Structure 1
């Protein structure tokens, strides 16, 4: 202000060194960043992609790893370029701020991160895939789609269920279609007076003629329980869960055996209770007097 008040003219030349220094620093930063970023992206993404493909990782995880690698290369390129060009002090301040921000976001998004990590393991380990019928924590459904954060399933009532991936990885999960063969077991009760061998032959014969039932392993019907009211035979047949519906085959099996038992006169008793003892009536005279009144 003093030079202006005294009428002293401004000298633009005094700002030239600072301006040149700033422009040089910016240009140096841009050039260093471009070189580091382009070279790092080229070599790192190729290395990551080829390494994961060599280990037969899922394509979704490979694409995710490549994208993450690009981001990391960009961050490293900014850091190195800032150091080369002389932005180290500013970079340190931003690094501290970014670290605090990352910590806060990490605490706030713990569940999101847990589901994301669980999704990575599900996609890689494949405990189930789209189309599998799974059960967990008393729930069941057919997998429609596996995403990085959630898994979408269809219930047998045709309802869409969205389940966080961490719930599935932390539960004892049953995949009903993971194996090539699955046993369908149904308990059939017969009366104690009925012929066990006759009932067994009927169960095996009906089971072997149901569409979709495998010939090997053979259908069987061992006695598994002597109940209060019935002798229980476990009808056992085997199916390929990829080709046939467990529920549909089981329903046809039950219906066929019930009709066969009815046709052959084999009893399928329901639970009964037998009371033993007698009833003694006392003071019958008083009861008759009360009735006459």
Structure 2
């Protein structure tokens, strides 16, 4: 095997709670992550020439060590003293800097792909242990599916899969700094938190409305006052029949849960034809944990 092609799937946070700020500056979280059927296409090809060559379809993305996919390949090649080089092509479809782990999932795919091409024999758990060195979301992007994330995001526990539904994803044309959001989070002022335990129970029961009813993201208390268009997108989704709508991660992407495809399509078209968001996709949950 000298070439491998993979789909690197994005995620949303069905519930995101921040419990406290630790003395080391990291925040302790408790959240439910969900993979969705919106993905980047990754092609990795072995080559005889030394070094890593990375290219993407977006000219503004870095193609050196500032790209997590590049660092993922370099990490394994250095650890296992792999001769020659690699060509990595990334066709981006997941919105960039959107709270959907687009960079992390590309890095996770490269870890998996290099492991396959060179038959390194690393287990999924061993790949996850290496992935955390690249970023907090990388181990989850290797695991995928519906997962409880705790600690600083490194403690991952699979939970019952998200019931079948339609997820409308919309990214407004703004950028949000995750660092800024966490630095300005005032936990003493947070009034509404997600019911993570209630969500886990609803997932186990296959109760989609129960999942939607327990959704909340405490980071919205920072991001929405800075960017009210996020709240406006949520309002459009809810007015068109979403069971609930919420910002994913630190934003700015918003997603809505629909139990009816026609309602989701109507909301998608309204947003696409408006000024709030141009990157709008109607997708489904992705619950397959096997990489392909």
For the superposition of Structure 1 and Structure 2, which TM-score range results when normalised by the shorter chain?
under 0.3
Higher normalized contact order (CA 8 Å, seq sep 6+, divided by chain length):
2
Between structure 1 and structure 2, the one with the greater Rg is: 1
TM-score (norm 2): 0.21
TM-score (norm 1): 0.21
